[in-house]
Structures are given as structure tokens and as C-alpha cells.
Amino acid sequence: MVFYTYINEGVFSIDSVRMKFGIGASEEVGFEASRLGLKKVLVITDNNLIQLSSVKKVIDNIEKYGVSTIVYHDIEIEPTDESMLRASQWARDKDFDGIITIGGGSVIDHAKVINLLTKYPADIREYINKPIGQGKPVPGPLRPLIAVPTTAGSGAENTAVAVLDVKSERVKTGISHPYLRPTMAVVDPLLTVDMPPTVTASTGLDVLTHAVEAYTAKPYYARPKYLSPADRPVYQGANPISDVFSEKAVEYVSKYLRRAYYNGYDLEARYYMLLACELASTSFGHAGVHIPHANAYPIAGMVRDYIPPDYKVDHPLIPHGISVVLTAPAAFRHIAPAVPERLAKISQLLGVEPKSMDPRHVGEAIYEAFIRLIEDLRAIPRGLKEVGYKESDIPALVEGSLKQQRLLAVAPLNVGRKDLEKIFRESLEY
């Protein structure tokens, strides 16, 4: 049991979206929009999704309930400050009272920023997290936003964060504030069956790392007490509720990700992967993420010439889930001395039993568990070299990670330059 002290934090909060989950839930999007009193909404999707009959059915359903729509679909697969500004400028002179997204994390994150910049116009850098931006708080509530996810990965429909690449600095960062959290999520496994294998693998591994990073985050009670409730950050540290959700998410990923990867029409697998996504997003959305995500930002931002299979792009791209998992095995092995019991539990859930509770054995077990899964998901690169990085790139990658102090502070141990160099070096190939 954790006892309150006057010098440490004694409170954590859980602020999840209202959610409707299940097969066929997308048939109720229009009902929910009308119940919110919406009359005209922006529908945000992307160029690939807009061609799918399932997406057109959702738009038809919205209009069936008397809610008119304005559709925007010029969305980049990995959001950038430029694409978000372009979308926000397009939306600025439109007359709408709410936003509905139909898409994955990129679509939802674009919508969050559109909602922000059209309600409280400012230079986007003012809202971007420090040290890359100014970290200005969102001034007030935003328009209603209903998120309808089509992937089981980012969990953006359930979080108060929007992630983006700052192209001029070749680094990925984010905007974080409770007002960014969608008003509601309508989550339908049927909308995920069209995900191709590589997208399924990448997004599924994002779910897994979300859960494990949240589970191994520095606990909320290890942080200093905040002077005001308004000072409490979005990422507060591991807590008893996030722990339960993380464990269940890992259990589902271990059982269902391989099935969803090899048979996209396995509806049971799609159902439980999407459920794992929502559990993990609730967990990390409050506990936080740390080393793998901090490393993912420069990995994605400094992309060389890698173009992933199954992604309809004409430019180099390292999808978010892939960029995260590339250093996850080495990162989790590195933190094993700080959280051996927790990583032993995760290893067991993933099907690998540590030889003992010695941190070295636990570290090897969690490393092996991740490598086994990556090997089974054949589309996933096995190390940084396979996406174009060399040992000579490590200093620049480390510099990019060090800019993510908001994330590194969540780790269960102090993380410095030498730690990151070691993790990147061990992640070159495996």
C-alpha cells in the first residue's frame, strides 16, 4: 500500500472519453452526433479511406440523422506541422459546430489540431510541447469531436495528445492538453478488417509498447506534489488502474495480434486487438510512455529511404508503430533492473518465462519475447539497419531522443546520453 506524504503526489486522475464499442457500433455515429446537438460537422478522413464503402456508410449514417457534412481527406499518413497547418487553414472559413473523424491516429491527431487552431488561432509552435515548442496550454474547451477509429494502434480516440513531425527539425513531438481529448469514441471492429498486414503489425506493436511502457512507468506517487491540480500533467505515472488495463492489453496482443496479421478477416482477433488498443490507450494516456516512444520520434523524423510494404505512399516513411518497436526490446532489457517484477509479468504474458527473478534473466526474457513476436510478424524490420540507419547515425538519434524529456522523465530510472547510445547500438540489428 502507498501512503500519502506531504512531499510526494498522492492523487492520480482518470479522464477517459465516453465510448461506444462493438461490432456495428459505427451504425450509431449519426445518432450520437444528433444527440450532441450537432447540425454541421467536418468529417476528417484520408485519401485511401474515402474510397472504402465502409467509410462512405458512416458518412451516410451521419447525414441520415439530419447532420450535414463537409468532408476533408487530404491527410498525410504520419502528421506533420505543415499538413496540420494546411488542414487548419482549409477549415478556418468553414461553418461547422463539430468534427467527426473516420480513420487512424493520423486522422484523429489532425482533427485535434484542426479543432484547436480553428477555435484558438495561434502559431502551432506555441502549443507544441517544450523544448521544441512553447508548451502553451489550450485556452479553453473545444468543439465536440467524435472519433471513429479504423486502426487498432495509436488509441488517439482516447487520449489528450496529438503527435506530429516538425519538418524543419526532422523530429516528432506532440501537443498535450486535456481539452484535446475527443468528446466521444465510436469503436467498431468491422472498420479494422481492411487493414493490410503491415499496418496491422505496426499498429498492433504500438498497442503493445503503449501497454508495457505505461506498466513500467515511474509510479505516480514517486513524483513531487503539485502546487495546484492545474499543474498535474497528462502523463502522471503508473497507477493501479493503468496497471490492470496494461496487463489485459498485453494478454490480448499476445493471443490475437498474430492471428489478425495472418488473417485480416478474423473478426474475433480484430475485436480483441481493438479492445486491447482501448485498454492500452486508457493506460498510457494517464501513466505515460517513455524510452521506446522517445526514441521513435527521431527514428521517424530522420527517415532515410525506407518505404514500408502495404502503405500507399510515394515518399520515405517509418510508420509510428515500427519506429517505436525498433528499440523496444533493448529499451525494456535496459530498464529490467528497475522493474524486474513488472517485466517478468509482461514476459510471462507474452509466453516467455524468465529463468529467475534476477534482473539479467528478466531482461533477457523480455528481449526474447519481443524478438519472437517481431520474427512472427514478418513485415517488421529487424533492427535500425533494415530501415537505413548506421552506427554513425547514433549520435544524431540520441540528440533527438534527448529532446523528449517529457517522455524520458516517465521512465522508471534516469536516462542519459550513454543509456540511449547503448540502446540504439543494441537495436541496430537483432
* Cβ atoms of 212 and 332 closer than 8 Å: yes
C-alpha of 331 from chain center: 18
Kind of pairing between the strands at 171-176 and 161-166: antiparallel
Residue-level pLDDT at 4: 54
Spell out the per-residue pLDDT of the chain, length 430, in tens. Answer: 455 556 789 999 998 899 999 999 999 999 999 999 999 999 999 999 999 999 999 999 999 999 999 999 999 888 999 999 999 999 999 999 999 999 999 999 999 999 999 999 999 999 999 889 999 999 999 999 999 999 999 999 999 999 998 988 887 889 999 999 999 999 999 999 999 999 999 999 999 999 999 999 999 999 998 889 988 888 999 999 999 999 999 999 999 999 999 999 999 999 999 999 999 999 999 999 999 999 999 999 999 999 999 998 889 999 999 999 999 999 999 999 999 999 999 999 999 999 999 999 999 999 999 999 999 999 999 999 999 999 999 999 999 999 999 999 999 999 999 999 999 999 999 9
Instruction: Write down the pLDDT at residue 82.
Output: 94
Structural element, H or E, at residue 19: strand 18-21
Inter-axis angle of helices 197-215 and 328-335, nearest 10:
10
DSSP state of 159: -
| pLDDT, position 226 | 87
Dihedral angle sign, alpha carbons of residues 285, 426, 351, 272: positive
pTM, two decimals, is 0.94
**% helix, strand, coil for the chain, step of 5:** 50, 10, 40
* Single-letter code of the amino acid located at 8: N
Look up residue 47 and give its amino acid. N
CB distance 105 to 156 below 8 Å:
yes
Domains (ranges, CATH) in the chain? 18-192 (3.40.50.1970), 197-426 (1.20.1090.10)
pLDDT at 171: 79
What's residue 1's pLDDT? Answer: 46
pLDDT of residue 170: 81
Contacts of 231 (CB under 8 A, 6+ apart): none
What pLDDT, on a 0 to 100 scale, did the predictor assign at position 5?
56
Map grid coordinates 503493445 to a residue: 208
CA 182 to CA 156: how far, in whole Å?
A: 9
